Amino acid sequence: MEEKRGSSSGFWRWVIASVLFRLILVYFPKNLHLSSRPEVSTPLTSLRRLAEGYWLKQSSISPYAGSMYHGSPLLLSILGPLTALRIEGHPDHLLCSLFFLLVDIINALLIRATGRCIQDAYGRTLKSLDLVKPSEASEIILSGDLAALVYLWNPFTIVACIGLSTSPVENMAIIVSLYGACTGLVPLAAFGWVIATHMSLYPAVLIVPVILMLGYGPDAPPSKVFLQKKHEKSNAQVIFSWKQPVHFLFWSIMWGMHVLLLCGISVRQYGGLWEMLRRTYGFILTVEDLSPNIGVLWYFFAEVFDFFRSFFLIVFHMNILFMVLPLAIRLKHRPAFLAFVYVAIVAIFKSYPSVGDSALYLGLLALFANELADMKFSFFLFCGYIGVSLLSPVMHNLWIWRGTGNANFYFGTAMAYACFQIILVVESVSSMLDHDRMLVKFVAERNHVATNLR
């Protein structure tokens, strides 16, 4: 009991330290120019573009006029007033900085609660299979606390917050959906999924792990483990239940109708819902803005012939969908981990990625610290992420400001970053499958010994 209390107090000390660190960075001159960095702000997450859209709306002009704003009209109504407020003697957009800081704290606490739920569910299953002894319980890492601190202290999370990117708000919607699914709060899970899909479209693929979480539970060993125990009396095996997934679909439809209604009211004077969908989802799918970012699509579509543009647009977007079903079949017993994999894949192949997307999946990755303890190339990936993070602004400066480089310099770092992310996904999935095989092998050996003793 004292150990848990000590770990809890240590967790809150680190949380407070992360808040103070962010507040110090807010008062740096011009916030270190992070809000203008292409790695932090994209056409969809830039607060400057949002402020422009709000100014247009206040001037009775469509916020989608021109080519500046392409985000949600609901987000414009929430954050727009904050961009117009100024506090004398304080940095510009101080209220926005405090808002994003609060969102980061909420995200971390939700990740912590989600991690505890996943770990408790998996621990109960292991105990029911006699795979964990009470004496070994103290050796299990509190992955929820670890994941929350990884998210808070991740440099990507910090620069996204200080750089006034709206990606923390999008991340919060995804985390709310996962938290609701893990805890069985179906309306909350549906609300988070609808808002996340409305804001950036790509989280729509998370409907698969969310439904699996509601049907199976947050986490469980593979089905082969239960086949090894067929001769034993065990109620550990989880059977898919359709009750909560059906409720989820119902609530998703309800929340979706409410969101469309509110959006329709907000943009009724500026072309209606069709104009909004064309300027938001259409902008995402057609990759109209080719300004540099940490993704690979901007360079590719800047070089490809217009005749082949539509074909490659379909190929790139279908590339994400092609991975959904195979991964769902192989990892259906671990829907929470499946959600991490989907988030990471989307962060790699989406039209306008930013470091805020990487901050989310790295935080979710830490939820499985116990299962992925033997993951290969961890140090190599750690050094790779650091190297790319340092080289990216240097290559961008050489290209844009110094004039001693070209677009290939910056695109090279983007390619390296994509490769490191792909290696991370492949190795994490491989390590999780190896962990499952180890469980199956351990149960088989134990049953074999028990049979010989009889």
Query: What SS3 string covers the chain?
Result: CHHHHHHHHHHHHHHHHHHHHHHHHHCCHHHHHHHHCCCCCCCCCEHHHHHHHHHHHHCCCCCCCCCCCCCCHHHHHHHHHHHHCCCCCCCCCHHHHHHHHHHHHHHHHHHHHHHHHHHHHHHHHHHHCCCCCHHHHHHCCCHHHHHHHHHHHCHHHHHHHHCCECHHHHHHHHHHHHHHHHHCCHHHHHHHHHHHHHHHCHHHHHHHHHHHHHHHCCCCCCHHHHHHCCCCCCCCCCCCCCHHHHHHHHHHHHHHHHHHHHHHHHCCCCCHHHHHHHHHHHHHHHCCCCCCCCCCHHHHHHHCCHHHHHHHHHHHHHHHHHHHHHHHHHCCCCHHHHHHHHHHHHHHHCCCCCHHHHHHHHHHHHHHCCCCCCCCCHHHHHHHHHHHHHHHHHHHHHHHHHCCCCHHHHHHHHHHHHHHHHHHHHHHHHHHHHHHHHHHHHHHHHHHHHHHHC
The domain in which residue 113 lies consists of 2-453
- Which residue in this structure is represented by tokens 């805890």? 183
The dihedral through the CA atoms of 241, 321, 417, 281 has a sign that is negative
pLDDT at position 170, please?
94
Helices 243-266 and 186-200 pack at an angle, to 10 degrees, of: 40
Q: What is the pLDDT of residues 100-111, one digit of tens each?
A: 999 999 999 999
Burial class (CB in 10 A: 0-12, 13-18, 19+), 315: exposed
User: What was the pLDDT predicted at 242?
Assistant: 86
How far apart, in whole angstroms, are the C-alpha atoms of residue 190 and residue 194? 6
Token code pair at residue 228: 């090894």
Angle between helices 407-453 and 378-397 (to 10 degrees): 170
pLDDT for the residue numbered 1: 46
C-alpha 436/C-alpha 221 separation (Å) is 7
C-alpha pair distances (Å), 253 with each of 149, 248, 258, 259: 34, 9, 9, 10
Per-residue pLDDT of the chain (454 residues; tens, 9 = 90+): 444 545 677 889 999 999 999 999 888 756 577 888 899 999 999 999 999 999 998 888 889 987 889 999 999 989 988 888 776 556 667 888 899 999 999 999 999 999 999 988 877 777 766 666 544 544 566 888 999 999 999 999 999 999 989 999 999 999 999 999 999 999 999 999 999 999 999 999 999 999 999 988 887 766 666 555 554 444 445 677 888 999 999 999 999 999 999 999 988 888 889 989 999 999 999 998 888 999 989 998 988 888 889 999 998 889 899 999 999 999 988 999 999 999 999 999 999 999 999 999 999 999 998 888 888 889 999 999 999 999 999 999 899 888 787 888 899 999 999 999 999 999 999 999 998 888 878 777 776 666 666 6
| pLDDT at site 280 | 92
Q: What is the CA radius of gyration of the chain?
A: 23
Quick one: CA torsion of 384, 390, 391, 396, rounded to 10 degrees?
140
- Could you give the angle at the alpha carbon of 49 between the alpha carbons of 43 and 52, nearest 5°? 155
CA distance 31 to 34: 6
> Residue 8 corresponds to which tokens in the numbers above?
């809890």
Q: What is the residue-averaged pLDDT of the chain?
A: 86
Give the count of domains, the chain: 1
Q: Cβ–Cβ contacts within 10 Å for residue 66, how many? A: 11
Write the CA distances from 205 to 155, 201, 277, integer angstroms.
Answer: 27, 9, 18
